[in-house]
Amino acid sequence: MIQIHRVPTPPARDAEPHPVVHALADVEAEVLRDLVGHDDFAESARARTARLFGSDYADQPHWVALADGTDPETCTPADALGFASMVLMLKQDLQTAQVWVGVRPSARSRGIGRALFEAALAEGIAHGRTVWQAYADSADATGRPDAIVPTSGAGAVDPDSPAARWLVADGWTLELCETPSRLDLTPDLLQRAASVLEEGAGSDGYVLASWGDSTPPEHREGVCRVMERMSTDPPAGGMEYDPSVWTPERLIDVEHRQVVAGQRSVVTVALHAGTGEVAAYTHLAWPEENPAGVWQEETLVLPHHRGHGLGMWTKLANLARLVEANPEARRVHTWNAVENRPMLAINDALGFVPVGVEGCWQKRL
């Protein structure tokens, strides 16, 4: 017997994590270790508390499965058997709900995942959401005759993966495949990155600028334009996303929430020397609690500035800035649509190694 408990909304972003939030963080970390073999994607209870508080732009409710009779007010981290989390956008994508569900390996095949999903489903329906989205890791099944191929036609998911079996049986459609990749920060690579800053190597007509956790006021409008393009330019297959609207106020809010959650950042941009326009942007982030594992966040070159090598230039420069700001960094993880050949080519040249496939799934109610 189990109980599904909705994790309470904290009184503030920086509130002391509730006991059930510690349980949420613990079960998610075990699920991720079982799935990908490391803790680089696990979030601390502090980070989850900041997410749970939400913002004017998104609500992020979470649920945990506890053994019947367990008091969520006094539970221990090991008491959670599974979790579900959901993102409900409030300014765009008002038809969609993104959901993640995970169950400890020792507690699977007991209906816990289904019960967690049903709790999230009920809340999404109550908010009028009719399009459901989920993301699930898999082995690369390219070339297998029984592989699941997305509607986009590129990439393939292993049909025998537990997530794929569950999603297919529940009526979901695979819309897109992404390539997760890992880059080890070798001495040779870091020397190459450092030389970009030392020599100023790059493209005529552009200059570099870098910063940490907060965008300088003079660049906020330019960064907002890049963030809006991030919602329309990368391949999305059949996944339903509305074009996003970014303002300096939204950017400030997002950056503040990341700092409260214990996430640090380095950003490098290429500025057009003649106009000062932010022509290219790349962002690396890492949790203070686990600085060895770094996440490649957004990278984009505006269309009218492409063809000058700005993607590679800014990425190398940002790797140099990364090790200055975070000497404990050891590896970088990134995700790109299989169709995004220009960015994948840059990643290949840097030394990123593919580590499987992430399926992007969707279901319409």
Domains of the chain: 2-129 (3.40.630.30), 186-329 (3.40.630.30)
Q: Does residue 283 register a pLDDT over 90?
A: yes
Amino acid at 16: E
User: Model confidence at 204, in pLDDT bands (50, 70, 90)?
Assistant: confident
Average pLDDT over residues 202-229: 94
How confident is the model at residue 24, as a pLDDT? 97
Task: Using alpha carbons, list the distances in angstroms from residue 181 to 36, 139, 262, 332, 335.
Answer: 12, 13, 24, 8, 6
> In the predicted model, what is the mean pLDDT of the chain?
95
How confident is the model at residue 139, as a pLDDT? 92
| Interatomic CA distance for residues 287 and 295, integer angstroms | 9
How confident is the model at residue 201, as a pLDDT? 56
How confident is the model at residue 202, as a pLDDT? 63
Amino acid at 213: D
What percentage of the chain's residues is helix, strand, coil (to nearest 5)? 35, 30, 35
Collapsing DSSP states into helix, strand and coil, what is residue 342? helix
Q: Does residue 52 register a pLDDT over 60?
A: yes
How confident is the model at residue 199, as a pLDDT? 76
Collapsing DSSP states into helix, strand and coil, what is residue 270? strand
How confident is the model at residue 198, as a pLDDT? 78
List CB contacts of 214: < 8 A, sequence separation 6 or more: 252, 255, 259
How confident is the model at residue 200, as a pLDDT? 67
Among 334, 349, 364, 351, CA closest to 178:
334
Q: Does residue 101 register a pLDDT over 70?
A: yes
* pLDDT single digits (tens) 230-268: 999 999 999 999 999 999 999 999 999 999 999 999 999
Amino acid at 272: H
List CB contacts of 267: < 8 A, sequence separation 6 or more: 210, 211, 212, 215, 281, 282, 283, 284, 318
* pLDDT single digits (tens) 67-93: 999 999 999 999 999 999 999 999 999
Among 207, 193, 201, CA closest to 324:
193
